[in-house]
Amino acid sequence: MSSQIPTQPAATADYLPLAFGFALHQIGATVSSLGILDAVADGPRTAEQLIETTGAHPRSLRRLLYAAVKAGVLFLDADGYRATPVAAHFGPLSDMHAAPPVWRAWEVLEQSVRTGRSAFDIANGAPLFDHFRNDPKLAAVFHAAMTAGSDVQYPAIVKHFDFARFRNVVDVGGGRGTLLAAVLGAGSGLRGTVFDTANGVVETAGVLAEAGVDDRCDIAVGSFFESVPEGGDAYLLKNILHDWNDEECVQILGNIRKVLPEDGRVVVFTSVLSEGGDDEDPAEALGAAISDIEMLVMTTGRERTLTEYRRLFDSAGLELTATTPLPCPYLYYALEAAPIAS
């Protein structure tokens, strides 16, 4: 039986998130950037208290608070305004999406679709990661957003993926080192290396020291397009390959393959687009699809299906050997690859 598309007019609740999603985002992002979420973290605050805290125009702030309640970001009772669970999703991630260079990129999505070029490159005259060299503020916001977005993933990764069989873990593109700090913290016998660009590891030493694992973790600086550190038996790529096109991914994976021992593994943590879709959760599938479009807007990369990841591995001399679903948003998996026997 063929599926039937509903013919009745769309309900307000159906079309508002699509037609005015940009407005809903900015309502939440502005509540965060004004410091309102920080102000209500310790308890409810009245409108008068929030006006005093933020220094914002009183009437305009009251209008924003009213809209934030209706949007579900804030809750209002007799004691004042409180944050809802949805508010936890605003902060560093919404700061990044509200940044002018990022908004400019989304404005030219049509050009990106027509040409295949990154919308960020079209709108700002340089690819995202090149742009960071001249925009350290956006770079800092981006790295904070990546950390915040990953915080919900670390516990699931550590709990559901077996790191105990490894001796030395290299986190390729590991940034601030929060993933490796969690991994090493859960396994006292492990050693590790965080590998990233100079900009990416600015705060890494402090993160590792705070986690108490700095005596078991090194920091290496470089570009994974040129080489990666030797000595690991597990090389992690968390939310890395989706930033790059197929040729770039093969280059990254190929550089790892050059130093990977025969019993070593490459582990890619990433969303995986479903190929059938009959049994997928609609919200999770939508999240993965939006992430794919965001990669089109921001980078040269994309989200991929399992078949597409298998092809990438194969092109780099690797074989997909295991897939582990993880209880994280947006169809998230650990994809494990081993060297193809020569």
What is the tens place of the pLDDT at every residue in 148-159? 877 889 999 999
Q: What is the identity of the amino acid at 218?
A: D
What was the pLDDT predicted at 282?
Answer: 87
Half-sphere exposure of 329 (CA within 13 A, CB side): 12
Which pLDDT band, with edges at 50, 70 and 90, does 1 fall under?
A: very low
Average pLDDT, the chain: 93
Q: What's the CATH class of domain 12-89?
A: mainly alpha
Structural domain boundaries in the chain: 12-89, 92-145, 152-339
- Of the residues 25, 89, 131, 242, only one is catalytic, namely 242
What was the pLDDT predicted at 76?
Answer: 98
| 96 has pLDDT over 60 | yes
**Paired tokens of 299:** 């980078």
| 37 has pLDDT over 80 | yes
What percentage of the chain exceeds 90 in pLDDT? 80
| 3 has pLDDT over 60 | no
What was the pLDDT predicted at 4?
Answer: 57
CB atoms within 10 A of CB 274: 16
Q: 97-124, pLDDT tens digit by residue? A: 999 999 999 999 999 999 999 999 999 9
pTM: 0.89
- Report the distance separating Cα 318 and Cα 339, nearest Å: 5
Q: Please give the average per-residue pLDDT across 151-172, as a whole number.
A: 93
CATH number of 152-339: 3.40.50.150
| 278 has pLDDT over 70 | no
Q: 288-320, pLDDT tens digit by residue? A: 999 999 999 999 999 999 999 999 999 999 999
Q: 220-246, pLDDT tens digit by residue? A: 999 999 999 999 999 999 999 999 999
- The DSSP line for 275-307 is SS-TTS-HHHHHHHHHHHHHHHHHSS---EEHH
Q: Please give the average per-residue pLDDT across 173-198, as a whole number.
A: 93
| Contact yes or no for 90/29 (Cβ under 8 A) | yes
What was the pLDDT predicted at 145?
Answer: 87
Q: Please give the average per-residue pLDDT across 207-212, as a whole number.
A: 96
Cβ-based burial of 226 (10 A; exposed 0-12, middle 13-18, buried ≥19)? exposed
What was the pLDDT predicted at 341?
Answer: 82
Q: Is 143 a catalytic residue?
A: no
- Report the distance separating Cα 147 and Cα 181, nearest Å: 12
